[in-house]
């Protein structure tokens, strides 16, 4: 019954008017021709969605950049011990350079973070370019670097507006840039977006959008996180050093425990990781973070917020340390009193916070490394690059740091940060004189009402 109804009333059935002569043939031919053309394009260039991991082209392995002097010195060792010594020597070298940069001050640390960000972005973008090297994508690399410039302009412009207000106030050109900073940032990004749309080529639509997304995810991973690292640095160098050094400590100790005692595989994504290394790294990192927090909390250089002083035209770290960095007495639990025979113990409150930071660095931080391992396996590469002999690329060393940066920023804003008098003062100095006078009168009235100031007597 349904079949008869369909035939009688549907288009082209018994109840439909007969087509004109030549219309059916011509119309069907045109439709078939268009359909065949679209099918041909999909067959030739639209197979990316159906690719499996085995279809991804292999990237040639990077060349060995180990210095010749090290190769000769370690030539008699097995590959396992040779790699151990290379990693150890390069690790000590990098740690020494890191100490030197810390000594040189906050500004050099910011430049270090920016340099690492750019290098990590370069490594990830290069992987995308090499994986799809058989496709001639117009403007892909140029637009990727342009978007990196735009996003850095936005984030670092926000930092300048927040922490360099007094310096900006003296420079008329900078005042214009800061006042319209967000509009300029949006206009720059919009220009890149339009350039991308104009660069679209019919046979590469899908691939171009894949790489557009690739670029933006890379920006999210690198630029956003490096911006948070610098924000943490402005809260005090200790909020920069303890988290970063905890991740470094966890990397080193987990490697050592795994190298000497590892027997039980931890995760398939990273076959060399072991439970022994994971557990040993955890306890070592907590002890290290607790000790480092105690040592650093003694010095203003590390605990004071980083501020820009326009009178000396430099960054300064001078302040009266907050309660977080003053020794406090804590009563011990009964079972510890019986063991240690102490009633109380003196600690810096920051040491307690360091336990949370170290725990995250050793338990959750490694998942950034596992994520990176899965990424590398998906594209059949061993390392992101060969920048550091025995270690791989810069991204291979900092894959865990990005998760840590976000956690520290969220931790500070949730549990630590209160109103920042210095930041409020910098914002007040940018206001017009009439606005500043109104705020002064309001504040004075408020302090008189609270009994902090005595009311002035009218003569």
**Per-residue pLDDT tens digits for 249-271:** 999 999 899 989 999 999 888 88
**Which residue, 253, 242, 270, is CA-closest to 88?**
253
Q: For residues 219-240, give the mean pLDDT.
A: 92
Average pLDDT of the chain is 82
Q: In sequence order, what are the residues at sequence separation of 6 or more whose Cβ sits closer than 8 angstroms to the Cβ of residue 371?
A: 399
pLDDT tens per residue, range 11-70: 444 444 444 444 444 444 444 454 454 444 444 444 544 454 555 555 555 566 666 777
Q: Which two tokens stand for residue 29?
A: 């031919």
Q: Is residue 233 classed as helix, strand or coil in its secondary structure?
A: helix
For residue 50, the 8-state DSSP code is T
| Neighbouring C-beta atoms of residue 368, cutoff 10 Å | 20
Between residues 185 and 167, which one has the greater pLDDT? 185
Q: What percent of the chain has pLDDT over 90?
A: 41
Which of 210-219, 223-232, 299-308, 420-429 is predicted least confidently? 420-429
Cα–Cα distance between 316 and 305 in angstroms, integer? 8
Write the burial class of residue 402 (CB in 10 Å: 0-12 exposed, 13-18 middle, 19+ buried).
buried
The whole model's pTM is what?
Answer: 0.77
The whole-angstrom separation of Cα 97 and Cα 82 is 23
Query: Does the CA dihedral 427-156-116-247 come out positive or negative?
Result: positive
Q: Residue 391: its pLDDT value, please?
A: 76
Token pair recorded at residue 247? 């991740």
Q: How far apart are CA 262 and CA 264, in angstroms?
A: 6
User: What is the predicted pLDDT for the residue at 158?
Assistant: 87
Q: What is the pLDDT of residue 60?
A: 58
């Amino acid at each position: 019954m349904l079949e008869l109804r369909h035939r009688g009333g549907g288009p082209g059935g018994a109840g439909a008017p007969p087509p004109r002569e030549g219309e059916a043939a011509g119309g069907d031919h045109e439709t078939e021709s268009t359909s065949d053309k679209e099918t041909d394009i999909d067959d030739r260039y639209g197979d990316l969605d159906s690719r499996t991991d085995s279809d991804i082209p292999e990237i040639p392995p990077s060349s060995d950049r180990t210095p010749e002097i090290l190769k000769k010195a370690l030539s008699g060792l097995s590959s396992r011990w040779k790699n151990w010594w290379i990693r150890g020597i390069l690790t000590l070298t990098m740690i020494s350079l890191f100490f030197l940069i810390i000594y040189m001050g906050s500004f050099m640390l910011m430049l270090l973070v920016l340099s690492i960000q750019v290098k990590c972005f370069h490594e990830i973008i290069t992987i995308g370019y090499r994986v799809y090297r058989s496709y001639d994508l117009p403007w892909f690399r140029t637009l990727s670097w342009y978007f990196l410039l735009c996003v850095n302009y936005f984030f670092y412009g926000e930092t300048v507006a927040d922490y360099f207000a007094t310096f900006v106030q003296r420079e008329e050109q900078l005042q214009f840039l800061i006042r319209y900073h967000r509009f300029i940032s949006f206009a720059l990004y919009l220009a890149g977006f339009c350039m991308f749309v104009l660069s679209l080529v019919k046979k590469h639509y899908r691939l171009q959008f894949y790489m557009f997304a690739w670029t933006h995810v890379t920006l999210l991973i690198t630029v956003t996180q490096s911006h948070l690292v610098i924000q943490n640095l402005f809260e005090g160098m200790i909020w920069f050093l303890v988290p970063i050094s905890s991740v470094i400590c966890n990397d080193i100790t987990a490697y050592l425990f795994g190298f000497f005692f590892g027997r039980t595989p931890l995760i398939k994504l990273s076959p060399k990781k072991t439970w022994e290394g994971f557990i040993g790294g955890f306890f070592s990192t907590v002890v290290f973070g607790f000790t480092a927090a105690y040592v650093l909390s003694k010095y203003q250089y590390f605990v004071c917020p980083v501020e820009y002083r326009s009178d000396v035209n430099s960054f300064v770290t001078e302040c009266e340390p907050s309660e977080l960095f003053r020794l406090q007495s804590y009563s011990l639990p009964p079972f510890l009193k019986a063991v240690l025979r102490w009633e109380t113990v003196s600690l810096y409150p920051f040491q307690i916070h360091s336990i949370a930071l170290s725990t995250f660095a050793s338990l959750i931080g490694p998942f950034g490394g596992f994520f990176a391992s899965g990424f590398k396996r998906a594209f059949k590469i061993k390392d992101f690059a060969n920048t550091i002999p025995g270690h791989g690329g810069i991204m291979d060393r900092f894959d865990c740091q990005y998760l840590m940066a976000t956690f520290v920023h969220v931790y500070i804003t949730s549990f630590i940060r209160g109103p920042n008098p210095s930041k409020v003062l910098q914002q007040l100095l940018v206001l017009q004189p009439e606005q500043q006078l109104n705020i002064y009168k309001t504040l004075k009235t408020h302090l008189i009402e609270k009994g902090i100031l005595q009311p002035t007597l009218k003569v």
